[in-house]
């Protein structure tokens, strides 16, 4: 009997440890495959993740809708379903790739890339693929979102992976990659239905051309421009202006075995990194993809000079977030 009780206690203890600490990839309560997480904290105080949606065993990135999830503790997540689908668009029918969102004018805005045509990876010259950026609006962070203008914000240049940043003065900036295989920014009009001014190419100090979505945030008076260098190595730059010029600062996360796409956000006094990993698929029938993407999370910390400490991928992730917040609340505030 004693041996049984000890075994039972060990089993219970291990189960609690797994539930509390092993949180990567994030459990959204369903088998949905997610990638390209865009994290935001809205006025209701919850954490929201807007993601793309990979099809099971998809041979390529033929994607049809975007999803949103919310949480108050980063452990239990609510799946709010699809916030928008290419089936609702008049100007695109495919490539529902990495989205972003913003809050302005008392409304929620959802910016997204979508396109038409076909991408021929073996013979790129035969590709007919085109992509543009759309913007949708809702009075709720979980939607439903409605395409505001019924067309992309512009037809040319080719654009993908939008990132929306609203500064302290209320000005909204839309960053994207695609034109010249590098990053650009353009200011949004006050009503968020159109752009204002010219495209500005990011001055990144002469580093390698970039091919994956950017993420911009502000901490104090410093602007941070982060992106997966060559699709995979998560690097960052800083500037004193949302348009740069930018100074290279280093690597946040090394490459693994596929592209990366991320967001960085502060929640309840703790900075967080959301990103996706390519993990082995347990489905033996999935012959087209041996690995698929899953959203994961890690804690992110800054040095005293504002630089970001390198992060290693983990299985633990942010599973102890509720306990960490309680511990942080007991610590004295620092200037």
- The pLDDT tens digits of the residues spanning 151-179 come to 999 999 889 999 999 999 999 999 998 86
Read off the pLDDT band of 19 (50, 70, 90): very low
Q: Can you give the pLDDT at residue 284?
A: 60
The tokens 């690597």 sit on which residue?
Answer: 251
Identify the pLDDT of residue 330.
61
Q: Return the domain boundaries, the chain.
A: 27-330
Give the pair of three-digit tokens for residue 209: 């051309």
H helical segments located in the chain: 2-21, 321-330
Residue 325 dihedral angles phi and psi, to the nearest 5°: -65, -40
Which of 16-20, 58-62, 252-256 has the highest mean predicted lDDT (pLDDT)?
A: 252-256
Q: How confident is the model at residue 273 (pLDDT cuts 50, 70, 90)?
A: very high
Question: How far apart are the C-alpha atoms of 136 and 108, rounded to whole Å?
Answer: 8
Mean pLDDT is highest, among 88-97, 197-206, 229-238, for 88-97
CA distance readout (Å), 226 to 15, 125, 213: 37, 31, 9
How many distinct helices (H) and strands (E) make up the chain?
2, 19
The SS3 call for residue 88 is helix
Cβ contact 270:321 at 8 Å: yes
Task: Report the mean per-residue pLDDT for the chain.
Answer: 88
Residue 171 has a pLDDT of: 98
Statement: residue 114 has pLDDT above 90: yes
| pLDDT, position 210 | 64
How large a percentage of the chain has pLDDT more than 70?
88
Q: Which fold has domain 27-330?
A: Tachylectin-2; Chain A (2.115.10)
């Amino acid at each position: 009997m004693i041996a049984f009780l000890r075994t039972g206690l060990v089993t219970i203890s291990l189960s609690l440890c797994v539930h509390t600490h092993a949180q990567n990839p994030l459990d959204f309560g369903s088998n949905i495959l997610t990638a390209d997480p865009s994290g935001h904290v809205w006025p209701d105080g919850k954490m929201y993740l807007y993601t793309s949606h990979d099809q099971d065993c998809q041979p390529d990135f033929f994607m049809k809708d975007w999803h949103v999830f919310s949480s108050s503790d980063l452990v239990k997540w609510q799946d709010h379903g699809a916030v928008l689908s290419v089936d609702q668009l008049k100007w695109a029918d495919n490539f529902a790739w990495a989205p972003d969102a913003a809050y302005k004018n008392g409304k929620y805005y959802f910016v997204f890339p979508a396109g038409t045509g076909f991408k021929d990876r073996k013979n790129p010259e035969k590709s007919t693929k085109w992509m543009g950026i759309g913007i949708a609006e809702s009075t709720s962070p979980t939607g439903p979102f409605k395409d505001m203008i019924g067309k992309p914000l512009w037809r040319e240049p080719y654009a993908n992976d939008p990132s929306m940043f609203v500064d302290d003065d209320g000005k909204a900036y839309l960053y994207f990659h695609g034109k010249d295989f590098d990053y650009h920014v353009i200011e949004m009009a006050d009503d968020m239905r159109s752009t204002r001014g010219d495209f500005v190419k990011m001055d990144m100090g002469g580093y390698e051309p970039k091919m994956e979505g950017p993420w911009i945030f502000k901490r104090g008076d410093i602007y941070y421009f982060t992106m997966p260098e060559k699709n995979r190595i998560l690097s960052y730059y800083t500037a004193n202006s949302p348009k740069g010029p930018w100074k290279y600062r280093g690597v946040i996360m090394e490459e693994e075995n596929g592209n990366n796409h991320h967001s960085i956000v502060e929640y309840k006094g703790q900075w967080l990194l959301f990103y996706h990993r390519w993990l082995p698929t347990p489905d033996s029938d999935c012959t087209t993809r041996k690995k698929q993407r899953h959203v994961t999370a890690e804690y992110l910390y800054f040095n005293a000079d504002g630089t970001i400490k390198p992060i290693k991928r983990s299985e633990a992730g942010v599973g102890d977030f509720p306990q960490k917040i309680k511990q942080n609340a007991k610590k004295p505030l620092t200037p």
